[in-house]
Amino acid sequence: MKPNESHIITHILAGKTEEFSYFLDTYGQQVFALIDRMVSSPEYAEELTQDTFMKAFQHLGSFSADSTFSTWIYRIAYNTALSALRKKKEEVLVIDDKQWERVSETEIDEVLDDESEDRIARLQKALEKLSVEERAIVAFFYEEEKSIEDIAHILNQSVGNIKVKLHRIRKKLYILMSEEE
């Protein structure tokens, strides 16, 4: 946690609620971006971002410094978006086991590291086909550059589980992008 954040939290809990604006200014855009990637709707993401910060404000007293504030707010954002999306039916994508087995890490790296316009467009389409949790993991790891440990803490899962999921997501993206060719 940034050194001044614990001081700001102490002030807010002591009644200086206007200091909560620091967290809105510091993390608002990042939280919005994460939620927007999860729900694929800027308008809905805006509403859920507001809900996230309201929950954070209401539960600020339960924040413990065993994690960073950013990890704590991301966890609230993730759970808020996930709860909202559970109300909607999500289509489950099934990939044949034989496709999983044929894919090598070298092939995956070649496709995912290619930054040509065509590959980026296919990657965007493939990302849209991932589940909410998978998109969140991709966003945390590649866009927010969170560590595996931070992602595990945010999603309340084990480090090993996140590593396996990240590996499977990369394979899934490769397969989805290959189907687009």
* SS3 assignment for 120-134: HHHHHHHHHCCCHHH
What are 99-151's pLDDT values in tens digits?
Answer: 556 666 666 666 666 667 777 787 888 888 888 888 889 888 888 889 999 99
C-alpha Rg value of the chain to the nearest Å = 18
Q: What is the pLDDT of residue 170?
A: 86
Confidence band for 173, pLDDT divided at 50, 70 and 90 = confident
CATH-assigned architecture of domain 3-86: Orthogonal Bundle (1.10)
CATH 1.10.1740.10 in the chain: give the residue spans.
3-86
Sign of CA dihedral 63, 87, 81, 49: negative
Mean pLDDT throughout 7-27? Answer: 92
**Closest alpha carbon to 128 in 173, 181, 163, 170:** 173
Decide which of 177 and 95 is more confident: 177
Q: What is the pLDDT of residue 130?
A: 85
**Closest alpha carbon to 57 in 105, 11, 23, 108:** 23
Check: CB of residue 64 under 8 Å from CB of residue 153: no
CATH 1.10.10.10 in the chain: give the residue spans.
97-180
Stretch among 15-19, 71-75, 104-108 having the lowest mean pLDDT = 104-108
Fold (CATH) for 97-180: Arc Repressor Mutant, subunit A (1.10.10)
Residue 115: CB atoms within 10 Å: 8
With a pLDDT cut of 90, the percent of the chain lying above it is: 35
